[in-house]
Structure 1
Amino acid sequence: MTGKLYSALKARSVELGPFKDAPAATGHWKNWQLARDAQGVAWLLMDKKDSSVNVLSEDLLQELDEVLDSLHNDTPTALVLRSAKPGSFCVGADIKEFRHLNSEEEVASKLGAAHAVAQKLVDLPCPTVAVIHGQALGGGLELALCCDYRMAVPGSTVGLPEIMLGLHPGLGGTLRLCQLIDPLAAMTMMLTGKNTRDKKAKSLGIIDQLVEERHLDNAIEAAIEGKIKQRKSGLRSSVFNIRWVRSLAAKKMRSQAAEKAPPQHYPAPEALITLWEEQGGSARTWLQEEITSFAHLMATDTSRNLVRIFFLREKMKALAANKGSDGPTPEPIRHVHVIGAGAMGGDIAGWCAVQGLRVTLFDMQAETIAKAVGKTADLCKKKHLSKADTRDVLDRLIPDFHNIGVAQADLVLEAVPEKIDIKHKVFADIEPRMKPGAILATNTSSIPLEQLQEGLKDPSRMVGVHFFNPVALMQLVEVVEHSKASKETLARARAFVGQISRLPAPVTSAPGFLVNRALTPYLMEALVMLDEGMAAESIDQVALDFGMPMGPIELADQVGLDICLGVADMLRERLDNDMPQTPGWLSKKVDNGELGRKTDAGLYRWKDGKPDKKQDPPKAPEDTLDRLILPMLNACMACLREGVIQDADLLDGAMIFGTGFAPFRGGPMHYARNRGYSDVKASLQSLEQLHGERFAPDSGWEKEPDDD
């Protein structure tokens, strides 16, 4: 172990057995450290070389195979397995290696070898104890499941998130978790991919003992001596050894899974349920079938695209961390001051407080601030925060009735109405009071920053930080630059977005920026179809069948018809294109206060937060999908060609995380690439002939992407 790592672990008072006094290891492995204490207990530390976290790479598993062979040849009194990384146990497989696997046969072969290593750990003829701190996810948890006991320190998290990549656990986890705990709880954990915190993991039986580091040595000794009672399968678990009982449960699982992940688009949930249903009574064949099923899923377009999205997320996280930047690491934002406690401003303030920042919130109306504080309390409840944590969040969210937080904040964000004169008035008031180096951020969704910067004494500190509604759910934040914004301001704004667990999309100050510009033609075409007499439910169903999280009619109601109308009018005015005119009846709805979900009436009637939709609507015409999707793709291409965003991958990430664009399709530009630019262009030309110049293809479609 390096001296730096040893010092870091020692500083955290991490129990390291023989390493804590004299870290002398046996063997010559790059990714593992092995030593025995005076009682003959072997301590094996996972320490992935040149990585801040442990991942189960091929070379790490090959070395583990050698380590386990040495332990089988000279069996210790017991084995303690833990991480040498200060932050976590193991975060799962090395997903970078997924991209180099080209066939089901290759996947199955490599996974079979990994299974053999895991089985050697299971078969080790001495007590084995996994000690978890931080995260034990995916293959990391599966490795821990191979041990006889699992200890965890408070704050640990376990999970099997493979379903998010279009897969299911592949290192024996489908079998071992179902054998260890209630099979229904195990299946729920795998089907949702959600992480489980320490106490819940203990109550489920995944963790045998939850102990502080200072008591870990005694707990390990008790486990080795057999004094810790291991969880036994109860009657409920044994019932599921009966095939027809599993089949009944599987039917319900399929129905629930299909509501969130249609099997025609996302095959992994169905594959996992089938694996459990068909193999649940026979451990002998289960593991081999797990390999076969996993290998098949990895070869699907869905999994390849979801893995692609994983790397898009990592790319955007790197932007937040300013990796690759020549400049100094930006100072973190500690205090945010939000001006305007309405729907967006209040939610932004609440989210920042939940993420640990000190927040002052100003509004002219005290009741508006009170409502924002109440919504933040509701958010804490939805996120299952403890009473103590909720109290801390609300303590950090400080009502500021006199706007004095401006002078102390590291970042001042305005979220006042979308009127340039109001924003200019706010800026004139607050800029002289802001402290040196503080950022002036605007949440504008439509006003060009070149216009907003007029009158500022130091426009270099101004930046667009554009959130999407609902703030607590939408992962994307557009970081909008303008001609006078400094590199330091932009870097710090991106870092702020990362601080609050959001993904930055760097865009230029163009009409609608990226997301609104691409989304508006999609929504407007749906309104044109509605005006033509097509049923709202029919239009929405086409989008749902394509894989969108909701249809455009429902989405327009969710966004707010007033917002849709305002953005459409702005784009129509500022862009040189033929966006369709807004139907007169839509303007009347807005004038009458029928704005969508927020008023319980819009394009749909809303009840208890859900639209009232007619069942079994008529089937939409054949060209409906292209009429919806291609205007969005056309706008994306225009943004790419004009340099609104720097590359197609970032564009795809922004549209997926900002609009929910069908994830299994890999993003709009990836979808266009697979479909073929020539086909997109020809289809747009056909629609142009039928429906008008608004479908005229952008010049960017002239050149296929592979021609570069």
Structure 2
Amino acid sequence: MSYELPNLKHWRFDIDVDNIAWAWFDTAGQRMNTLGREPVEELAEIVSTVEDAAQRGDVKGVVFISSKPNNFIAGADINEFDALRTEKDVEDVINPVIELFNRVERLKVPAVAAINGYCLGGGLEFAMACHYRVATREEGTRIGLPEVKLGIIPGLNGTVRMLQLAGPIAGMQAMLTGKMLRPGAARGMGVVDQLVPSHLELPWTARKAVLQKRKSKGGAWWKRLLTKSPARGYLANRMRKETEKKARPDHYPAPYKLIDLFERHGGDPQRMASAESRTFIPLMISDTSRNLRRVFRLQEMLKDQAPKSRFKPLRLHVIGAGTMGGDIAAWGVYSGMEVSLQDQTQDQVNTALGRAKKLFKKRMRSSRDVDVAMSRLISDVPGEHIKRADVVIEAIVENLDAKQKLFADLEKQLKPGAVLATNTSSLRIEDIAQSLQDPGRLIGLHFFNPVEKMPLVEVVQGEQSREDEVEKGAAFVNHIGKLPLIVKSCPGFLVNRVLAPYLLGSITRLQEGTPKEKLDAAAEKFGMPMGPIELADVVGLDVCMNVNETLGSSPAQDSDLGRLVAAGKLGKKTGQGFYTWEKGKPQKAGTDYDEAELERLGEEMLKPLIDECERVLDDGIVANADLVDAGVIFGTGFAPFRGGPLHYRRSKDKAGESTAQAA
């Protein structure tokens, strides 16, 4: 009997001479495999065919594998999510998929998921429905359930299967953080059954798994005990306390709903599966989820700011081994580049090397990896490596004369095609470039502190900066795993320009008598990652003064800010600013404030920031409103669940119009 499926668009299906069925996934017209409506419908055809062949004894098993490099299934197609307006819409979409995955699980022959690259979200939920999972150890392989980052929870019985395989501790942590796991970690948890060195060995290993009728053993017996009461209630309370440190339930309800689901039904897989859908459906159509999906798309938009380019930078040279320059150098090394670091003295460079080693120890898996990274970070006080570098970044003091002199000398040493950039936070690129014979070569690459945590880099285009230099700068930013935002040169660019009135306005409120703890609490109530007074301390009060002076809005020297700077109390880096800092934390007075009052104050405090975003858009500093929102979210941490400052204001205006019309 023939089991050919010739009309498939997104899958390829065949049965080989050993009677093993192969389903190769290759979503048409997309870089990533995603489970959209059409691919799922075709998957249903394949499963029906395998069911029929298995019933007749014509297949020994089925392997689900990807035809795309470095990608198994990246998840559901979130572009289809926005069409789901009601709970009934969501229910009609997910119920057939849940039943399809259950059919895979009920197949009478082995179903093997052969994983290379991203296996995330709905892709992992599908893989967990298979009987056995083989994954590659390749660097690009990442496995996880990142749904909470989109304001939802796994909704295709993924919560149930994750607990069965990984147990409640590791399984819930993976779902609550949305972390993408390396293959070894996934294997250690029990989510993956077998690892192979490379994708070349994946088909052969999957074939053996079918022929040997391998089946996942599931979680250990002691893990299953932890899903029983009273252990489950104890674990749920611990999870809530840990989650509260990172996210407020009124801003991000999804992780708390997941914990509730586990606490109530974690000991009964059947009830948990049913309750999972009831929890998932309202989250999917919530404003929080819609806004977080918008943030995801904004992130992809920023990545697209760097066009496909032949520019593949391998060597970076950083001038200035202070906190910012040293951290840029360390991040370049962490991203795989060879980096040379220059400053006036060896002691200054040595201090930066010490900080870099701490970063590598924190982020790398072994001491050998740390040693290899340190070997790529070269101390270069005389600047001998400038002529070899593909990218040269200046990160010295914010002084126009000093920068102009440095660049006049640098220009003579650069190799053809190298990117020449300044990390200035406020000076105009045109002014710095005046000392160059070829001013069109200079661009800005403005990083944010701390470099390892802040995802955005502003790629600054001066009036004379050539388009190809800007494109190469954006390609470099992508290469080191950051998000490039192309901005026109102006004082403060985008992020510092919109932050300045917000910070200065908050400091003015402090001087007028509003407690600093109250100001910070109000901003956090709005959804900011930290309050403006704490942020000023973290950025550095001297930096705040300098940026405000550049923007023409500096407070008086006899202001609280001016007096602290004059006294050398510069914030976190000196241990004293608006707050006293101990062990890296600000010492705050514990005071309770009225929640409604905090909400009102937070709205008032953020208004200057949003107003400045409107002016930035009007001035054409970035190309459109979406890029303003993206820059402010990823450059300042502006409440992601609100979808960006301009989107938030437009949404509020629409809501107000609707209320007025209804009245």
Partner in structure 2 of residue 149 of structure 1: 132
Cα separation, partners in 2 of 1:679 and 1:127, compared to 1, 3 Å: closer
Please tell me whether the aligned partners of residues 460 and 486 of structure 2 are also in contact (alpha carbons under 8 angstroms): yes
CA distance in 2 between counterparts of 1:504 and 1:552 reads: 25
Partner in structure 1 of residue 661 of structure 2: none
Paired residues for 1:586-665 under 5 Å: 586-616=561-591, 624-665=601-642
CA distance in 1 between counterparts of 2:480 and 2:70 reads: 19
CA distance in 2 between counterparts of 1:287 and 1:82 reads: 26
User: 34, 37, 41: which is aligned to 1:55?
Assistant: 34
Cα drift, residue 226 of structure 1: 4.8
Q: CA RMSD in A?
A: 2.1
Partner in structure 1 of residue 117 of structure 2: 134
- CA-to-aligned-CA distance 1:255-314 (integer Å, 9 cap, x gap): 211221111111101111122222223222322322222111011110000000000001
CA distance in 2 between counterparts of 1:420 and 1:506 reads: 22
- CA-to-aligned-CA distance 1:54-91 (integer Å, 9 cap, x gap): 11111101111011111111111111111111222111
- CA-to-aligned-CA distance 1:436-459 (integer Å, 9 cap, x gap): 222210011111112111121001
Partner in structure 1 of residue 660 of structure 2: none
Cα separation, partners in 2 of 1:679 and 1:66, compared to 1, 3 Å: closer
Q: Structure 2: 5+ residue runs without aligned partners?
A: 658-663
CA distance in 2 between counterparts of 1:679 and 1:572 reads: 35
- CA-to-aligned-CA distance 1:466-516 (integer Å, 9 cap, x gap): 110001110111111111111111111111111111111111111111111
Partner in structure 2 of residue 696 of structure 1: none
Please tell me whether the aligned partners of residues 449 and 464 of structure 1 are also in contact (alpha carbons under 8 angstroms): yes
Partner in structure 1 of residue 90 of structure 2: 107
CA distance in 2 between counterparts of 1:82 and 1:118 reads: 16
Give yes or no for the alignment of 1:315 onto 2:298.
Answer: no
Please tell me whether the aligned partners of residues 420 and 443 of structure 2 are also in contact (alpha carbons under 8 angstroms): yes
Q: Structure 1: 5+ residue runs without aligned partners?
A: 1-23, 324-328, 574-578, 681-708
Cα drift, residue 129 of structure 1: 1.3
CA distance in 1 between counterparts of 2:237 and 2:444 reads: 48
Cα separation, partners in 2 of 1:164 and 1:98, compared to 1, 3 Å: same
Partner in structure 2 of residue 685 of structure 1: none
Cα separation, partners in 2 of 1:530 and 1:371, compared to 1, 3 Å: same
CA distance in 2 between counterparts of 1:613 and 1:43 reads: 61
Identity of aligned residues (%): 41
CA distance in 2 between counterparts of 1:392 and 1:658 reads: 31
Q: Give the alignment's TM-score, normalised by structure 1.
A: 0.88
Cα separation, partners in 2 of 1:51 and 1:427, compared to 1, 3 Å: same
Cα separation, partners in 2 of 1:657 and 1:125, compared to 1, 3 Å: same
- CA-to-aligned-CA distance 1:664-701 (integer Å, 9 cap, x gap): 01111111112229989xxxxxxxxxxxxxxxxxxxxx
- Counterpart amino acid of residue 111 in structure 1: I
- CA-to-aligned-CA distance 1:227-264 (integer Å, 9 cap, x gap): 75743443433324434432222122122112211111
CA distance in 2 between counterparts of 1:161 and 1:215 reads: 28
SS class of match (1:539): helix
Please tell me whether the aligned partners of residues 440 and 465 of structure 2 are also in contact (alpha carbons under 8 angstroms): yes
Please tell me whether the aligned partners of residues 555 and 562 of structure 2 are also in contact (alpha carbons under 8 angstroms): no
User: 95, 103, 122: which is aligned to 1:120?
Assistant: 103
CA distance in 2 between counterparts of 1:466 and 1:205 reads: 42
CA distance in 1 between counterparts of 2:287 and 2:656 reads: 20
Please tell me whether the aligned partners of residues 411 and 438 of structure 1 are also in contact (alpha carbons under 8 angstroms): yes
Q: Give the alignment's TM-score, normalised by structure 2.
A: 0.94
Cα separation, partners in 2 of 1:421 and 1:218, compared to 1, 3 Å: closer
Paired residues for 1:694-705 under 5 Å: none
Paired residues for 1:246-257 under 5 Å: 246-257=232-243
Partner in structure 2 of residue 425 of structure 1: 405
Give yes or no for the alignment of 1:301 onto 2:278.
Answer: no
Partner in structure 2 of residue 532 of structure 1: 512
Paired residues for 1:481-492 under 5 Å: 481-492=461-472
CA distance in 1 between counterparts of 2:28 and 2:618 reads: 41
Cα separation, partners in 2 of 1:216 and 1:482, compared to 1, 3 Å: closer
User: 224, 234, 247: which is aligned to 1:238?
Assistant: 224
Cα drift, residue 402 of structure 1: 1.2
Paired residues for 1:310-349 under 5 Å: 310-320=296-306, 322=307, 329-349=309-329
Cα drift, residue 368 of structure 1: 1.5
Please tell me whether the aligned partners of residues 535 and 618 of structure 1 are also in contact (alpha carbons under 8 angstroms): no
CA distance in 2 between counterparts of 1:674 and 1:520 reads: 24
- Counterpart amino acid of residue 69 in structure 1: S
Cα drift, residue 383 of structure 1: 1.4
Please tell me whether the aligned partners of residues 240 and 280 of structure 1 are also in contact (alpha carbons under 8 angstroms): no
Give yes or no for the alignment of 1:409 onto 2:384.
Answer: no
Cα separation, partners in 2 of 1:371 and 1:282, compared to 1, 3 Å: same
Cα drift, residue 649 of structure 1: 0.5
Cα drift, residue 215 of structure 1: 5.4
Please tell me whether the aligned partners of residues 330 and 495 of structure 1 are also in contact (alpha carbons under 8 angstroms): no
User: 256, 260, 269: which is aligned to 1:274?
Assistant: 260
CA distance in 1 between counterparts of 2:557 and 2:116 reads: 56
User: 174, 185, 199: which is aligned to 1:189?
Assistant: 174
CA distance in 1 between counterparts of 2:135 and 2:77 reads: 23
Give yes or no for the alignment of 1:202 onto 2:202.
Answer: no
SS class of match (2:317): strand
CA distance in 1 between counterparts of 2:642 and 2:213 reads: 52
Partner in structure 1 of residue 433 of structure 2: 453
Cα separation, partners in 2 of 1:648 and 1:215, compared to 1, 3 Å: closer
- Counterpart amino acid of residue 130 in structure 1: A
- Counterpart amino acid of residue 72 in structure 1: E
- Counterpart amino acid of residue 671 in structure 1: Y
CA distance in 2 between counterparts of 1:423 and 1:331 reads: 26
CA distance in 1 between counterparts of 2:354 and 2:328 reads: 13
Partner in structure 2 of residue 695 of structure 1: none
CA distance in 2 between counterparts of 1:232 and 1:454 reads: 66
SS class of match (1:453): helix
- CA-to-aligned-CA distance 1:527-569 (integer Å, 9 cap, x gap): 1121122211111000111111001110000000000111112
Partner in structure 2 of residue 470 of structure 1: 450
- Counterpart amino acid of residue 155 in structure 2: G
- CA-to-aligned-CA distance 1:588-644 (integer Å, 9 cap, x gap): 211221111111111111111111111125556785324311111111111111111
- Counterpart amino acid of residue 474 in structure 1: M
Please tell me whether the aligned partners of residues 26 and 68 of structure 2 are also in contact (alpha carbons under 8 angstroms): yes
Cα separation, partners in 2 of 1:278 and 1:622, compared to 1, 3 Å: closer
SS class of match (1:676): helix
SS class of match (2:321): coil
Paired positions, count: 646
SS class of match (1:352): helix
Partner in structure 2 of residue 697 of structure 1: none
Cα drift, residue 206 of structure 1: 1.1
Cα separation, partners in 2 of 1:145 and 1:678, compared to 1, 3 Å: closer
Cα separation, partners in 2 of 1:596 and 1:518, compared to 1, 3 Å: same
Give yes or no for the alignment of 1:674 onto 2:651.
Answer: yes
User: 44, 48, 58: which is aligned to 1:69?
Assistant: 48
Partner in structure 2 of residue 435 of structure 1: 415
Please tell me whether the aligned partners of residues 525 and 627 of structure 1 are also in contact (alpha carbons under 8 angstroms): no
- Counterpart amino acid of residue 178 in structure 1: L
CA distance in 2 between counterparts of 1:51 and 1:623 reads: 45
Please tell me whether the aligned partners of residues 389 and 415 of structure 2 are also in contact (alpha carbons under 8 angstroms): yes
**Structure 1 runs of 4+ off > 6 angstroms?**
677-680
- Counterpart amino acid of residue 86 in structure 2: S
CA distance in 2 between counterparts of 1:513 and 1:134 reads: 37
Paired residues for 1:165-180 under 5 Å: 165-180=150-165
Cα drift, residue 25 of structure 1: 6.7
CA distance in 1 between counterparts of 2:84 and 2:239 reads: 31
Please tell me whether the aligned partners of residues 377 and 390 of structure 1 are also in contact (alpha carbons under 8 angstroms): yes
